[in-house]
């Protein structure tokens, strides 16, 4: 027969339902993370426009995905691939790039790729801005649209945002 002392000793190591609930409320659940991934484009746009990631669970989940090491490595690799492609002559079946602005801005693009691969924390806003730059087919990497900001300005803004990680991420 279990006495109350033995029962406490056995169950004292287990987290209470209240503790488990508190721990899961701090991190987004599976469905929230899945929805954040599925709605990534619109959430990335909101984050790059400066939305506060703490105002929504989906924004928080997306920010966590964007600042995770695999995403950072993927973006750094995409920037390096962009620089390699821009340095080669245009082929018949290649995506048309605005090669001159890319080559001119190559040093800062390499620096941004290095920042992404480094150990320092990065902000979700900066990563979202870079993803938008790389994936927007109507952006300054792919079109000569003079109505939007120049490529150098966008890269500079993204680099500044990238290094502006919140204080809790720097600890």
Could you report the per-residue pLDDT of 62-97, keeping only the tens digit for each? Answer: 999 999 999 999 999 999 999 998 888 877 777 788
Q: Is residue 64 part of a domain?
A: yes
Q: Is residue 2 part of a domain?
A: no
Q: Is residue 5 part of a domain?
A: no
Q: Is residue 164 part of a domain?
A: yes
Query: Cβ(65)–Cβ(112) under 8 Å?
Result: no
Residue range(s) defining the domain that contains residue 21: 13-170
pLDDT single digits (tens) 102-160: 999 999 999 999 999 999 999 999 999 999 999 988 888 888 765 557 889 999 999 99
Q: Is residue 103 part of a domain?
A: yes
Dihedral Cα 76, 33, 161, 68, nearest 10 deg: -40
Number of domains in the chain: 1
pTM of the model: 0.75
């Amino acid at each position: 027969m279990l006495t109350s002392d033995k029962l406490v000793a056995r169950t004292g190591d287990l987290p209470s339902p209240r503790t488990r609930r508190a721990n899961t409320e701090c991190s987004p659940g599976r469905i929230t993370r899945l929805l954040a991934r599925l709605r990534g484009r619109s959430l990335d746009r909101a984050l790059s426009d400066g939305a506060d990631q703490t105002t929504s669970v989906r924004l928080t989940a997306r920010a966590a995905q964007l600042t995770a090491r695999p995403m950072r490595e993927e973006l750094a690799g995409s920037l390096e691939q962009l620089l390699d492609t821009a340095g080669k002559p245009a082929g018949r079946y290649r995506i048309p790039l605005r090669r001159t602005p890319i080559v001119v801005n190559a040093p800062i693009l390499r620096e941004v790729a290095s920042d992404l691969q480094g150990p320092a924390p990065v902000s979700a806003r900066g990563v979202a801005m870079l993803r938008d730059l790389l994936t927007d087919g109507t952006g300054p990497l792919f079109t000569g649209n003079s109505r939007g900001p120049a490529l150098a300005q966008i890269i500079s803004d993204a680099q500044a945002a990238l290094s502006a990680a919140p204080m809790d991420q720097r600890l």
